[in-house]
Structure 1
Amino acid sequence: MADALRPSARVTEMVAAMTLDEKAGLTAGVDFWSTLPVERVGLPRVRLTDGPNGARGPVTRGEGGLRAVCVPCGTALGASWDVDLLERVGVLLGTEARRKACRVLLAPTVNIHRSPLAGRNFECYSEDPLLSGRAAAALVRGVQAQDVATTVKHLVANDAEHERTSMSSDVDERTLREIYLLPFELAIREGGSLGVMTSYNRLNGIWCTEDEALLGGILRDEWGFSGFVVTDWYGVTTTEVSPAAGVDLEMPGPGRAFGAPLADAVRAGTVAEADLDAQVTRLLSVFERVGALDDTGTEEPTSADEPADRELALEAAVSGTVLLTNDGTLPLDRSALRRVAVIGPNAAKAVIMGGGSSHVEPFHVATPLEAIGDHLGPDVEVVHEPGVDITRAAPTLKAEVAVTYHAGSEPGGEQVRAETLTATQLLSFGPPQGVPAEFTARATCTFTPERTGPHLFTLAQAGRARLAVGGRVLIDGMATPLPRGRTFMGYGSKEVTETIDLVAGDPVEIAIDYTSGGDGGSGGVYGVKVGLRALLPPDAVERAVAAAAEADVAVVVVGTDDEWESEGFDRRSMDLPGEQDGLIRAVAAANPRTVVVVNAGAPVTMDWIDDPAAVVQAWFGGQAMGPALARILTGDAEPGGRLPTTVPERLEHNPSWGTFPGDHDHHRYGEGVFVGYRWYQSRHLPVRFPFGHGLSYTTFDVGTPTVPASFTAGTGDELVVEVPVTNTGSRSGSEVVQLYVAPPSRTEVPRPPQELKAFAKVHLTAGESTVVRLTLDDRAFAWWDVGTEGHAAVVERLPLKPPGAAAAVRSPGWRVEAGTYALRVGRSSADIAHVVPVEVVPA
């Protein structure tokens, strides 16, 4: 854990020199991405940036801005099981944040994969708290080594998007401690995170921004956290309660509960100035730690496309790619290939990230089709047929889009800003920088169709907009407001569609007019998005099957995209969208050498799993997903991933079935500690693929562990498990050694059959051996005892008290029961190579 932040003389003097209004002003953003500068005392503004996929800079998606390195999504990083790699990815993200003139990175996201349907699963690491926490701690260390503070998020139990800003996550204390708080604890204690972001939801009825037991008791007193706590954007905050609870910074600005209202509350005596001073001191201490107090606050954000960054993004994509099945078809023998069919809805588009606030504009993107063609070279013919289309409406058009902004909500106002975007989408939380609250915008670009026929256009708006194509108004959301929908993270309209015939090679002008007036700007969100796609011919599936039948191998790229997996809403089904299941079966029937690539951020139904020759889980692999996939298919890279989350056979088998996403303002965590593999194994439910599963192109022998016969808990000692590992195959590869702990046969509370307590990833050349050292401490054997204080109060009311009622009251805390535990070492939660007993004796 990083050293506790103690206020320096410089910080103490700065706080003392500030006026009440200046101190209060520092607790709220001055705009969407910056804190208040106080030049009089030498305090510059400090900028923050999203996030988990890459550092976008102090701009909102859709506002233009700078390009950034796009790393794989959280699930893909979790699938790497590689803490050394995660730390290097953190260094990259920290470096990128500095390039963008930011000192705070709004990452990592460590919420748990409670349900396969959670809309933001792709952004999180795992269903397991230990894997999530160790991954987060590594990323934090890397980021903060670049003098950038992280804000591990979202504290806590923000595991669904449905009504996420108002729901109460109802979680019992034991489950909260053992599952949902553990990733945050590890990110702070092992990673040293300098920041924490609160979640939107309530926890057991209390807003997390008002929960003193959470922010003060657990976070600060128990874990020793001395950094700052920031709200999620537009999260509920109260002037009188949140400062004392432990919230330091309300974002974005201007403040609603903090800032000027907080200064007024101090003057009125309803908030102690000492609480305000504590907030400001914590903020400034973090700013000093990362060097922000020595900035000017006027540094210009920049972009850099470095070869080393591209290589790391590629390495991370490869390391997280999971080979689920393989009959020997993979890796492909390039010398035997003459024709390859690349098929599927995600083959000719780069689906590299989910939807929402983590979006960045990457430097380099190659679709799977492009990457496979480039990698195979000119001697191999690569043919493409999409087969089916999964877009709900249409993807935004990638083009050079000229945008002008004008003052006033009616056309003809003074131009106040101009910019060039790379896609037909405008989005801002609050008016764009330098633009008044009432404004209009006009965006234009040119589109040249590649084929003749019907093209589907879509329009979605938060505000009011009009779309014209070739001078013809196609959709008018100004004259008739569009119905409410789920676009723009739930603040926008439905996507309205219209079809128009276009001619291949004939360019048409696309014009978008937008006004913030009328019913626009819902929730402070201003946006318009225009989508476009050429409609598939009626025989699209037949054409795909014919292409597959004539190829040496067929690669079918299926999955989801940011219309199906996004911040702001949850998935409604685990099934692949559209007719992808049928396409897989048809292509596999036409060509026995069919490889299916699943390009999705969360588990999907795979009833067709036995049909293809091989199945690869590529996730949302960041900007290098396409090249990584091409290298893995041909054996030029090893699929290094292992599943960070269970793939169930049926949605109804998952532990949150019946309680997800919640109703009547409550998310009920009824499964308790039995999350993910803990649930499936305790219920003896079959799964499609178990937690930790992943195949290799080589073979490994995991030898018998060396384990002490006994372990005495409570002494501060560690139990060391040594596991010999040998690459017994003919090529280099990686293996993840996983150590699960099974409790004694009789325990005081229900416990999962086994829980992951240590892991290590090793990279070995053919024939190479090593010894993996895995360490366990008291917590590896412990469960959270809620204590008997509440029980004692209940018993006190009973007329006839049960035997033993007068026993000493036991306080809450971690508890280790004596007994024989089983250390289970293997390659996945289901593939256990060795079981070794150890006697645990509490001190």
Structure 2
Amino acid sequence: MTDTLQGPHTHPDLHDLLDRMTLEEQVSLLAGADFWRTAAVPRLNIPQLKVSDGPAGVRGGGPLVGGVKTAAYPVGIALGSSWNVDLLHEIGASLAREALDKGAGVLLAPTINVLRSALNGRNFENYAEDPVLTGRLAVAYVHGLQQNGVAATPKHFAGNESEYQRGTISSDIPERALRELYLRPFEMVVREADPWAIMTAYNRLDGVYCSEHPWLLQTVLREEWGFTGLVMSDWGGTHSAAESTRAGLDLEMPGPARARADLLQEAQRDPATAAAVRERAHAVLRLIERTGTFTHPRDVSDAAERDTDHPGTRALIRRAGAESMVLLKNTGLLPLAPGRTVAVIGPNASAAQIMGGGSAQMNAHRAVSPLDGLRESGHATRVSTAVGCDNDKYLPVPQVPVRITYRAQEGGAETARDERSQAEVMWFQYPQGVDPRAFHATLTLTVHAPHDGTYDFSLASAGHSRLQLNGDTLVDNWEAWTPGATYFGFGSDEVRGQRHLNAGPHELVVTFSPNDFQNGIAGFNAVRVGFRPEPAEDSVRQAAALAAQADYAVVCVGTNGDWETEGVDRWGLDLPGRQNELVQAVLNANPHTVVLLQTGGPVTMPWLARAPAVLQAWFPGQEAGHAIADVLYGHADPGGRLPQTFPATLKDDPTHPLTPDVQYPGENGHVEYREGLYTGYRHVDRHGVTPLYPFGHGLSYTTFEVSNAQLSAPTLTAGESVTVHVQVKNTGTRAGSTVVQLYVHDRESRLERPHKELKAFAKIHLDPGQIGSVTLPVGMRDLAYHDPAAHAWVAEAGDFDLLIGQSSADLPLTVHLTLDTPWSEPTR
């Protein structure tokens, strides 16, 4: 055997390369080298491949907070609201360039779990409650990314529809619901876009961990769907060595190997495991090849990452943000007239809520708040502002420099120093000589008290922590540390303290040390300091008084990345804190008030009847304030349509009975999907409930009429397809867009089916008075349901209604289609 197979810039024969590898070298490829990189085999010039978190930006190899700057795009549910496959393709292509800037050949995106519940903590990362809408958008995103040389990694496969106990809980899903709802977007993206990688979910599926589920990874993914890419675990989501390897999991992440630490010994004892190792190693090599890394090895070090702010990216994010915004209600107040005074009120007025929390966080090039955007637009003669109330789940993190001193143990000699840009530190990398499992850190920072008064302080940490001011302990999170809701469930809950401060600077000292809480990701440590003046009791009244003095008020309410985050589900449906009180007070003070919502999912709106205009802006990326101003002043049409039903109350959500149970959030390690097929608008149809806003709803600044639906053929033979041509007219006085939606209703079927199911949609932009048309395809799978007993997709001969309109509750057109012969497609 020679020591080298190929030079650094050649295109290898992968099977020959495998033949030349030792079993130990093959095994080495099946777990990461570190948090973000695969292992290299220098003897054979096999390079490392770097992966990076997405899906709304490319963070690179840095921490979840801080790190190299990058572009922040609208979050998943915002892009889902666009209903625009061309836009998703464009964003995928733009993200590929961002990934290459960070030396990454793989983006851990898109997130395509279907929205089952209103309380999923990662609602904001996913596209929609409907599998077809989710799948169509995901296909476009993956095409845009991979056509530019970066691998997509659709996630989380499968059954990760909530965050409660996600690391261990079993999602028990009836097979029809699993096939028709939760697997369908993955099937679409595999068959139509050929993703180069897929990430497994943390949870179990019907009792078996997804990362070692032979039916899921081999039978369905590879054999039925023809998947040819790599399957990787979520971070810390591998639970066995030989078993996961034989089941079809190619890559354990992160590294070094934990669950697969003994894989070499197991493979040496068992020929079947050794054969599986070779197959899994081939998948790793193929991913390296597909990303061009053999022929053009990248510098995968974090030091080589570029923070280029590309021309055109800001404009794309701004345009995408506006196209994602859903105008829920408008009685004529919007768009705002220029040359008037505006009061921008609320906790999200001057705070730019551009992203959700968890692994979706990044250090954005910039963050434009609604206040910034309205002021910089130049359309108002005066822009005033007041907070009114807070919406903090955790106290705000001081954005000040933090000096860190490391010692091997408390009182020991200094071993290293570091500096961070804010008072939240997540350690993914450590200075040389620091043991991630045994160190003592002292963090020093200075906060400024703007006035004499009472101030709140807090600590939350994955590890023991203590906060001191002038030698006195303010917050003790050391002796009584217990696991809580922060840091994906690996950290404590927030612990608070309070002190009276004089105006001026004050030095804070935090001591930190890892604890013995094992979390599956070796050496994950974090600490967060919070600091805030105690809110004034009459702050709501003061804000309302300011609003009364302006021509217009824009009240900016909602949540932030602490509420909408990975690792913990949403708090409920009511806006946190005193925000509903604030909205009511501002509406009372100024009838010309726009309610600007920024959330990651549905919320209740007890003030809705009195509000003349409500705009759902989601978390629209770094250009948030500019996109918001564009829509408020009519420079951009609000292009969004709801991708998720907004229930009027939590009891109307199909997964939420009056008391928690096994249906949600789960009991005794199981969550049962008892609602089956009936989520979202399907639940609304079946039970006759009236949602706050229906799936697909959204207003434009103009009006549209859909008419003259023409079916290419009234009768269909098994295996064929038809198209529906629909005329669309802009009947208003402004340019704008709408989404034409087609739902299928099966008049009679052997198995019960939802009343209607979305099967096709098209977005169209028209000038005033312009007439256009859209073409909507309908094929066999659009008419079919899954029959578990037959192990097949089945479309029964008979009559179907194709319902067409502009939302699930607005379907004025019906065309009739007859399938003259039955059709089926076996799944195995």
Report TM bin, short chain.
Answer: over 0.9
Q: How does 1:358-757 map to 2 (within 5 A)?
A: 358-376=360-378, 380-404=381-405, 406-416=406-416, 418=418, 420-428=419-427, 435-437=434-436, 438-469=438-469, 472-478=472-478, 480-504=479-503, 506-516=504-514, 524=522, 525-658=524-657, 659-715=663-719, 717-744=720-747, 746-757=748-759
Q: Which residue of 2 aligns with 1:803?
A: none
Residue 248 of structure 2 is aligned with which of 224, 238, 246?
A: 246
Structure 2 equivalent of residue 801 of structure 1 = none
Whether the 8 Å CA contact 1:407–1:436 is kept in 2: the answer is no
User: Match for residue 820 of structure 1?
Assistant: 799
What one-letter code is carried by the residue in structure 1 that aligns with 2:725? E
Structure 2: 5+ residue runs without aligned partners? Answer: 1-10, 658-662, 823-828
- Is the partner of 2:409 in helix, strand or coil? coil
Letter aligned with residue 656 of structure 1 = T
The range that moved more, 366-375 or 506-515, is: 506-515
Q: Match for residue 326 of structure 1?
A: 330
Secondary structure of the equivalent of 1:294? coil
Q: Call closer, same or farther: CA 1:500–1:705 in 2, change over 3 Å.
A: same
SS at match of 1:272: helix
**In structure 2, how many angstroms separate the alpha carbons of the residues matched to 1:701 and 1:289?**
46
Asked whether 1:56 is paired with 2:59, we answer yes
Give the 3-state SS of the residue equivalent to 1:622 in structure 2: coil
Q: Residue 305 of structure 2 is aligned with which of 297, 301, 304?
A: 301
**Equivalent-residue separation in structure 1 for 2:175 and 2:329 (angstroms):** 39
Q: Deviations over 1:239-259 (max 9, x none)?
A: 22211211100011111232x
* Contact 1:713-1:778 at 8 Å conserved across structures: no
Q: How does 1:724-803 map to 2 (within 5 A)?
A: 724-744=727-747, 746-787=748-789
Cα separation, 2, equivalents of 1:21 and 1:497: 50
Q: CA–CA distance in 1 between the matches of 2:421 and 2:707?
A: 53
- Map of 1:215 onto structure 2: 217
Secondary structure of the structure 2 residue equivalent to 1:498: strand
**5+ unaligned residues in a row in structure 1: which ranges?**
1-7, 788-810
Q: Give the partner amino acid of 2:628.
A: L
C-alpha separation in 1, matches of 2:122 and 2:265: 38
Which is further off, 364-373 or 83-92?
364-373
Identity of aligned residues (%): 42
Q: Quote the Cα distance in structure 1 between the aligned partners of 2:258 and 2:518.
A: 20
Measure how far apart 1:431 and its partner are: 5.7
- 1:38 is matched with 41
- Structure 2: how far apart are the matches of 1:38 and 1:360? 31
Corresponding residue number in structure 1 for 2:230: 228
Contact 1:162 1:568 in 2 (8 A): yes
Any idea what the Cα deviations from partners look like across 1:163-190, whole Å, max 9, x if unmatched?
Answer: 1111110111111110000111112112
Query: SS at the partner of 1:456?
Result: strand
Could you tell me how far apart the structure 2 residues matched to 1:235 and 1:517 are?
A: 21
| 1:9 Cα offset (Å) | 5.6
Aligned residues: 803
Could you say what secondary structure the match of 2:262 adopts?
Answer: helix
Call closer, same or farther: CA 1:421–1:767 in 2, change over 3 Å: farther
TM-score by length of 1: 0.92
SS at match of 2:802: strand
The separation in 1 between residues aligned to 2:815 and 2:539, in whole angstroms, is 55
Once the 2 structures are TM-superposed, how far is the Cα of residue 414 of structure 1 from its aligned partner? 4.0
- Cα offset for 1:755? 0.6
CA distance in 1, matches of 2:409, 2:149: 42
- Pick from 182, 186, 189 the counterpart of residue 187 of structure 1: 189
Return closer, same or farther for 1:522/1:712 CA change in 2, 3 Å cut-off.
closer
Residue 838, structure 1, aligned to residue 784, structure 2: no
Q: Residues 472 and 176 (structure 1 numbering): CA distance in 2 closer, same or farther, change over 3 Å?
A: same
Q: CA deviation at 1:204?
A: 0.9
Alignment partner, residue 67 of structure 2:
65
CA displacement at 1:271 relative to structure 2: 4.1
Q: Distance in 2 between matches of 1:451 and 1:234?
A: 46
**Among 89, 92, 96, the residue aligned to 2:91:** 89
Q: Which amino acid aligns with 2:798?
A: G
**1:485-531, Cα deviation, whole Å (9 max, x unpaired):** 21111111121112223344x22233333222576989643110001
Check conservation: 2:460, 2:528, Cα contact below 8 A.
Answer: yes
- Following the alignment from structure 1 to structure 2, what is the Cα–Cα distance between the partners of residues 277 and 518? 36
Report the CA distance between 1:469 and its aligned residue.
3.8
- The residue identity in structure 2 corresponding to 1:816 is A
Separation in structure 1 between the aligned mates of residue 198 and residue 615 of structure 2, nearest angstrom: 35
Q: Is the 8 A contact 2:563 2:571 kept in 1?
A: no
TM-score normalised to structure 2 length: 0.94
Residue in 1 that maps onto 2:284: 283
Q: What are the Cα deviations for residues 432-480 of structure 1, in whole angstroms up to 9, with x where unaligned? A: 78732222333333333334422211111111222234665422334x3
Corresponding residue number in structure 2 for 1:116: 118
Q: Partners of 2:212 and 2:360 in 1: how far apart?
A: 26
Per the alignment, residue 7 of structure 2 pairs with: none
Q: Does structure 2 retain, via aligned residues, the 8 Å contact 1:595–1:614?
A: yes
- Structure 2 SS opposite 1:558: strand
Amino acid at match of 2:818: E
CA distance in 2, matches of 1:488, 1:667: 23
> Which one of 176, 179, 198 corresponds to residue 177 of structure 1?
179
Letter in 2 for 1:714: A
Letter paired with 1:54: G
Kindly state the Cα deviation for residue 390 of structure 1 after the two structures are TM-superposed. 1.8
Residue 791 (structure 1) aligns with: none
Q: Structure 1's 681 and 518: CA in aligned 2 closer, same or farther, altered over 3 A?
A: closer
**AA at the equivalent of 2:512:** Y
Cα distance in structure 1, aligned partners of 2:107 and 2:617:
26
Q: Secondary structure at the residue paired with 1:773?
A: strand
Cα offset, 1:483, TM superposition: 3.9
* 3-state secondary structure, aligned to 2:815: strand
Amino acid at match of 1:837: H
Matches of 2:528 and 2:779, distance apart in 1: 52
State the secondary structure of the residue aligned to 1:671.
coil
Deviation at 1:816, TM superposition (A): 0.2
Look up the match of 2:825: none
Cα deviation, residue 307, structure 1: 2.9
Aligned residues of 1:265 and 1:271 also touching (Cα < 8 A) = no
**DSSP 3-state at the match of 2:656:** coil
- Name the CA distance, whole Å, in 2 between partners of 1:687 and 1:135: 25
* Structure 1 pair 310–836 and aligned structure 2 pair: CA distance change class (3 A): same
Cα 1:527/1:720, change in 2 over 3 Å: same
Per-residue CA shift, 1:599-643, capped at 9, x if unaligned? 100100112211111000011111111111111111111110000
Structure 1 counterpart of 2:660: none
